[in-house]
Structure 1
């Protein structure tokens, strides 16, 4: 993977920049509007408000393209930007990034609540954003954007997922529902688990960036 700047934005959104191109994932309702400024391509994992804000996507420049699952694409009909439908096993290029798709459904929230479509994205064979699911890609993951909180997960599932993927490094996402006390608790759990696996865990604050690859 070429040198890539990864910037954490609010809740589940990240921004990847490489060779002058910008890819944004899941700029939802808990994410600051600046996250999509200058985006060349946008990926949406699923339809929940904290990952998808239609109004914001409607304001994107006409040359921007969106890649997402069929359920989200149906909600984006009529937008001036091009919307591409992808599913598990697909591969495509967006804004100069090579992307593979893994996963089909959102993790279970409650047995009586229907599951929605959810696709995870593996970027340049290095960075994996699972959306709201515990999808384990079929290839090694260097950098896992690991969900850390929500009505669909328990702490034990969070730790089991980190262990199953076994990344070299992990950064926290889906953490916008925590206060500082909750974030500190989760940080401690994930840090100990990552160290036990020989990996590294960090929680980036909104707006904080790291450089990966090279």
Structure 2
């Protein structure tokens, strides 16, 4: 399975000639090369994780692609056919097995409503928790997508999360609000905890890929 990181939290996964796209949001450049898309996962309703424009652009070329998201996404993406998912659900689409975890976005501030959010485990290898620190209980995570910066986190929490999951490999996501200096700092912290637990850190930039 080939993973390509796009801007912010957008991930493109390819296997057996088919493609899965996760969280194509407002910080992500247009996915004009998206072909063979069988599924789109949207972890939650915030616009940095999905936009109607991205969905229309993908569906114009891949009309049979299925969209998966929690209840809040079903409501927010009115007009799109979204399959509602929640923690404990499993769906198989083409070569991709999707297992869902969690249920709620991390708290940003007590004055801001908490929205639905799901984490997704792809093919029992790649885990991405959306905007949360949900740990997939009972799962040995091969590759972990780690949130590097957000209004809802601090780097100590990120480090504790990586330490708890203990992935074999990690890479940063959700980092478009960081400067170059900020990326260097967060990458160093995420990398150090990953490596302390015997894993490997890959500081992926948009457009770079890993073979999983």
Which TM-score applies when normalising by structure 1? 0.93
Q: Which residue of 1 aligns with 2:66?
A: 65
1:149-203 superposed Cα distances (whole Å, 9 cap, x missing partner):
0000001001000011111000111111111110111111112111111111111
Any conservation in 2 of the 1:23–1:95 contact (CA below 8 Å)? no
Q: 1:73 & 1:36 partners in 2: Cα distance? A: 26
Give the 5 Å matches for 1:51-200: 51-59=49-57, 60=59, 61-79=62-80, 82-138=81-137, 139-200=139-200
From 6, 21, 38, the equivalent of 1:9 is 6
Q: Offset of 1:111 from its aligned partner? A: 1.4
Q: 1:105 & 1:95 partners in 2: Cα distance? A: 27
Q: 1:210 & 1:175 partners in 2: Cα distance? A: 18
Q: Offset of 1:36 from its aligned partner? A: 6.7
Any conservation in 1 of the 2:31–2:54 contact (CA below 8 Å)? no
Any conservation in 1 of the 2:10–2:49 contact (CA below 8 Å)? yes
Q: Which residue of 1 aligns with 2:48?
A: 50
Q: Which residue of 2 aligns with 1:24?
A: 21
Q: Offset of 1:104 from its aligned partner? A: 0.5
RMSD of Structure 2 on Structure 1 (CA) = 1.2
Q: Offset of 1:140 from its aligned partner? A: 1.2
In structure 1, list runs of 5 or more residues that go unmatched: none
In structure 2, list runs of 5 or more residues that go unmatched: none
Q: Offset of 1:77 from its aligned partner? A: 2.5
Structure 2 CA distance for partners of 1:36 and 1:74, relative to 1, 3 Å:
farther
Give 3-state SS (helix, strand or coil) of 1:141's partner: coil
Q: Moved runs in structure 1, 4+ residues, more than 3 A? A: none
1:104-152 superposed Cα distances (whole Å, 9 cap, x missing partner):
0000101121100000000111100100000000211110001110000
Q: Offset of 1:35 from its aligned partner? A: 6.7
Give 3-state SS (helix, strand or coil) of 1:195's partner: helix
Give 3-state SS (helix, strand or coil) of 1:74's partner: helix
Q: 1:77 & 1:113 partners in 2: Cα distance? A: 22
1:5-36 superposed Cα distances (whole Å, 9 cap, x missing partner):
00000000110000001000000000111277
Which TM-score applies when normalising by structure 2? 0.94
